[in-house]
Amino acid sequence: MNARFVVSRRRTGFGDCLWSLAAAWSYARRTGRTLAIDWRGSCYLDAPLTNAFPVYFEPIQEISGVPVICDDQVNHLSFPGPFFPSWWNRPSIDCVYRPDEQIFRERDELRELLEAQGDTEANTVVCDACLMWGCDEAAERQIFESVKPKAEIGARIEALYQEHFKGHSIIGVHVRHGNGEDIMAHAPYWADPEFALGQICEAIRKAKAIVYPRSTRVFLCTDSERVIHDLSGVFPDLFTIPKRFQADGVGPLHSAALGVDGGFSALVEMYLLGRCDTAIRFPPTSAFSRYARLFVPRIIEFDLDYPGRLSLIDNSRETSPTS
């Protein structure tokens, strides 16, 4: 096995995990390293030593020539130093807690390394930060086309597709609300909640006005039962996939409180959203709908600088890996 590694460590929602994985894979391919996927401590699991990747995705040994370690071997591996970023050269016990400012510092260091197109002398590069926008779209597509959900998740996706999607043109709507969570970069889109819901309704009307080859249905993915209630009042024909929610105002769906099924539901919705004919992303900064952004033929997004303007993006030249 290659003695040089890139370790992709994430504990966040699957959109962030996969997008950051694409950046780590791109660097591993360019520098001839082995890629280790370490999703221990995942927000979807109440088992800190369990690697979430093999819980939700099929095992994989390589991605386009890059060797991959993606199971609980990560509990027993001793990656060789020196490490980049330099924080990881500390004794293991001193690396357990990293303050937010350290995490953001590492994110910036890693992005600088990725953008430089060079390499570091470190034997192990630890990517334990959000690396969205850390690679090109080709790398993102490679990850989505190579990494497959577990068979039982794939079967659920296909069954729901046959039940709700087949024979219709589907308008997919993803609304990232937060349900009381600190939604950081998404927060400006919700500065005026009533206006935000009005924007979403206008986007759905714009999507419905497009000429489709079949009758349309509106499919809603959201982390808030309040959003379902409000949008159903305007579009009573929209449908959702049944799932468990956190109580109103308690927080996001990527929570160990919902058990393994919370991650299962997230992947089902993520991949179904990617099989729609048009996808509406609110806000467009959410990584959950990144898969749809890459593969759905038409995308409707919102511009924070011009709130009244909707952007219709033609993606029709791209083909979904599930189609």
Q: pLDDT tens-digit profile of 85-129?
A: 999 998 876 667 788 899 999 999 999 999 998 899 999 999 999
Q: Which one of 142, 174, 189 terminates a domain?
A: 142
323 assigned to some structural domain? no
Give me the pLDDT at residue 111, please: 95
Give me the pLDDT at residue 281, please: 96
What integer is the mean pLDDT of 198-211?
Answer: 95
Sequence-ordered list of residues with C-beta below 8 angstroms from that of 254, at least 6 positions apart, any chain? 12, 13, 14, 43, 44, 262, 263, 266
Range of the domain at 9: 5-142
On whether the CB atoms of residues 31 and 66 are closer than 8 A, the answer is: no
Q: Flag whether pLDDT at 255 surpasses 70.
A: no
Task: Render pLDDT for 160-197 as a digit per residue (tens, 0 to 9).
Answer: 999 999 999 999 999 988 765 656 667 788 788 899 99
The token pair at 256 is: 């160990």
**Residue 151's pLDDT band (cuts 50, 70, 90):** very high
Report the distance separating Cα 47 and Cα 33, nearest Å.
29
On whether the CB atoms of residues 35 and 9 are closer than 8 A, the answer is: no
Supply the mean pLDDT for the chain.
Answer: 90
On whether the CB atoms of residues 208 and 219 are closer than 8 A, the answer is: no
**Residue 152's pLDDT band (cuts 50, 70, 90):** very high
Q: Which one of 125, 142, 159 terminates a domain?
A: 142
Same domain, 309 and 250: yes
Same domain, 191 and 299: yes
What integer is the mean pLDDT of 55-60?
Answer: 96
Same domain, 168 and 40: no
Minimum mean pLDDT range among 66-75, 203-212, 263-272, 302-311: 302-311
Same domain, 250 and 298: yes
Same domain, 161 and 260: yes
What integer is the mean pLDDT of 222-231?
Answer: 92
**Exposed e or buried b per residue across 182-213, where buried means at least 16 C-beta atoms within 10 angstroms of its C-beta:** ebeebeebbeeeeebbebbbebbeebeeeeee
Same domain, 176 and 290: yes
SS3 for 188? Answer: helix
SS3 for 189? Answer: helix
SS3 for 51? Answer: strand
Q: What are the residues facing 86 on neighbouring strands?
A: none
Higher local confidence (pLDDT), 180 or 17: 17
Q: What are the residues facing 311 on neighbouring strands?
A: 301
pTM to 2 decimals? 0.91
Report the distance separating Cα 36 and Cα 79, nearest Å.
10
The CATH number linked to 268 is: 3.40.50.11350
Give me the pLDDT at residue 306, please: 77
Please give the order of strands across the beta sheet that includes 62-63: 62-63, 66-69, 34-38, 5-9, 124-127, 83-84
Same domain, 111 and 196: no
Nearest to 284 by CA among 268, 296, 272: 296
Residue with tokens 């470190």: 122
Backbone CA torsion sign across 50, 55, 60, 63 = negative
Same domain, 194 and 228: yes
Q: Which one of 94, 115, 142 terminates a domain?
A: 142
The CATH number linked to 44 is: 3.40.50.11340
Give me the pLDDT at residue 267, please: 97
Same domain, 135 and 217: no
